[in-house]
Amino acid sequence: MTVQTRQEVLAVLEGDWASYVRRFRSLSPDEQSAFLAKQGYARIGDLLAHVVAWWQMGYRAIESYIADPQFQAADCDVDSFNAEAVARASGLDDEALIASFEKMRSFLCDFVKALPEAAFENEKVVKQFNMEIVGHLSEHNLPEKE
C-alpha cells in the first residue's frame, strides 16, 4: 500500500493507526508477548514511543520540504535513533505512552488536513508520508485475529 493524497494519508491515520492499540489489546496476553518479542520491544509503550519519535521526525522533515524544496534530510543512524526513543520513554508507563501516541496521531491528522494541496504534489512529502505512516504500519503490522 502507498498513499498519494491527503485522503489516503488520513485514511491510514484515522483508520489503521487509530485502532492500533485497541487491536493490540484484543490479542491474548500470549499473542501480545509473542508480537512484541518478534518486534524487538518489551512492551507496547516502547513500540509506540518508537513510532511517535519517527512521526515527529517525519513531520519536521515535511515542514522543511514545504518551506525549502531544496532541503535534504540528514542521514540517521536508525538503530541509535530507535534506542534513544525507547530510552526516553523508559520512565513512562504504557498508558502515558499510549496517550502520547494518540496525541501525536491526532496532531498529524490536523497537520495533514491543514496542508496545502500542493504539498501532495511534492515527491519528498509523499515519500515521507509513505515511510512514516504506511511503512511503519507494515513494519509493525499486528497479527490478524482468527
The per-residue pLDDT for range 7-44, each reduced to its tens digit, is 999 999 999 999 999 999 999 999 999 999 999 999 99
Evaluate whether the domain defined by 6-139 bears CATH number 1.10.3470. Answer: no
- Note the Cα 91 to chain centre separation in Å: 21
- Find, among 100, 99, 124, 129, the residue nearest to 112 by Cα: 129
| Secondary structure string (H, E, C) spanning 73-137 | CCCCCHHHHHHHHHHHHCCCCHHHHHHHHHHHHHHHHHHHHHCCHHHHHCHHHHHHHHHHHHHHH
The residues, ordered by sequence, that sit 6+ positions from 53 with a Cβ below 8 Å of its Cβ are 81, 82, 84, 85, 88
Residue 1 has pLDDT above 90, yes or no: no
Q: What is the distance in angstroms between the CA of the first residue and the CA of the last residue of the chain?
A: 23
The per-residue pLDDT for range 116-144, each reduced to its tens digit, is 999 999 999 999 999 999 999 999 999 88
Confidence label for 73 from pLDDT (cuts 50, 70 and 90): confident
Helix (DSSP H) and strand (DSSP E) numbers for the chain: 8, 0
C-alpha cell at 102: 494518540
Instruction: Please tell me the predicted confidence (pLDDT) of residue 145.
Output: 67
Give the rounded percent of residues in the chain with a pLDDT score beyond 70: 99
Q: What is the pTM of this model?
A: 0.93
Residue 67 has pLDDT above 80, yes or no: yes
